[in-house]
Structure 1
Amino acid sequence: MSTMDVIFETEDGALFKMKVGHSHTALETKRKIHKFAGIPISHQILAHQDEVLDDSSYVESYSIAENSRIHLRIEDPCRGLPGQPKMVDLLLKVPDSTSLFCVTMNRRDSILQLKHKIHETEGLPIDRMGLYMSGKKHNLQDAKSLSDYGLLDASVIDVVIRPAVTQSRSSGSNKLKIRVVTSCLYLQVNPTDKVQVLRNQLQNLQQKIKFELLSDYFFIHKQSVIDERVSFQGNNIHQGDEIEIVSGAIPLLIQQLLAAENAHIPYCRSCSSSIP
């Protein structure tokens, strides 16, 4: 089957080129557009030289040739009257979640407005948020609109939260950046805060980004049980250190040793007890 390059132009002026067979019907062309751009077939209206293409008619019957321009109008009968702003339902994939959630936006909205919507819905920080079209590597730019990127109904957006940037010691920052190993999270804490505040941070984050958090656990730092009544500084936790979450309750013997203010007690995983 011989093919030709045809240019498709959407209502907002976006252009894309696609190969179309001379003997393809308009419906077959719509199927190719759906596969290429994700636009539902039932929402597509194709027109050439002000004539709407009938689904059962062949492309060549409309005098469409190499590099002809076909106007693609996208309409959803469930979305109100023609001429009203076009709304789209975007599917967002957030970190540590196996399910998608949906937000409704105007195609004229900016990427920054979408970030604000995600922040309102999921509580994720705008300043550390990156948005990517599913399977693409390029970060969507704040100033551009959804239509600039051709985002349509059911487009999937990957939401990435970058680690918080800690200032260098020379800048006067007194924040510690720590990594919670089991949950693969990077958190900032005040070195003088008691370690027990980490539980509150994890619980708040768990509600926002839905990662798995054990109901009963304690913390280990460099193979030593952490006394949560003592500060991070008092537990010798430093910049970039890793803290591990261990399932279960602290064994009674270790609790007694911690109560005696022996804050750094080596912990044996296999026997679940302190090492003499």
Structure 2
Amino acid sequence: MDVTFETARGRRFTVEIWFMSTVKRIKEYVMRQEGIPVESQRIFFDGKELKDDLDTEHYSILQGSCLRLVLPGDGDAPGIGRMVRVIVVSPALVPGGVTLDVDAAFNVARFKELLQEKTDGALPAARMVLLFGKLEMEDDKTVGEYGPPGPDGIQVTAVVQPKQPAPAAAISKKKQPLVTVQVKWGNMAVGLEVSDLLAVKELRAELGAGAAAKLPLPKDGGYFFIYKQNVMEEDHTLRWHDVKNGDTIEIFNGQVTGGA
């Protein structure tokens, strides 16, 4: 199964592990993929530091879980051990809403991505506005800054903007962060300027317009995206994959099938 790691400095990456791995084994997977020595790693989940001899079943680590990785020099990594319960209500969610327990150090942009994942895309991060009372939550602030939480946590409202809102009708006055990426198919490449909160599957629509439309892609949509030699997950955003301005995304013919 795949689990996501986030460092105290905000770097994110995904590692495939065995579903009954011990914590020490997980650290070995991280060392193999990222080159970080086992003895340098401290792993946290749900606000607790994980013990090497216990396993994923003990800590209820599942497919898609997000673990915090603390490295030498990170100190105590502010936010670890302080969890915030967030109750999210939205007209887009039936019934009612969703409740998440998250690290207080999560920034709002990351929290939006987590909501997108937990709602199977019903709340798309790129078009989501979160309201704390009447105040719009800012992407670069942490969840913990919007409190203190009450006995049941904090309640926020999620509003999904229309796909193509008129500029004057946009709920958020702030522009989504843009990145320019090179999309490469064989020997051909084109540049695209897109939001880093764009889901990978939404990148397909961008390839049908402008200069990108010249790429001879399969008409049946039978292709997938590769970033830094890893298959990109289509339900996740470019930011989730840590795509930066000027990076290259490659396109390959065929389809990806899930493994055991």
TM-score, length of structure 2 as denominator length: 0.30
Larger Rg: 1
TM-score, length of structure 1 as denominator length: 0.29
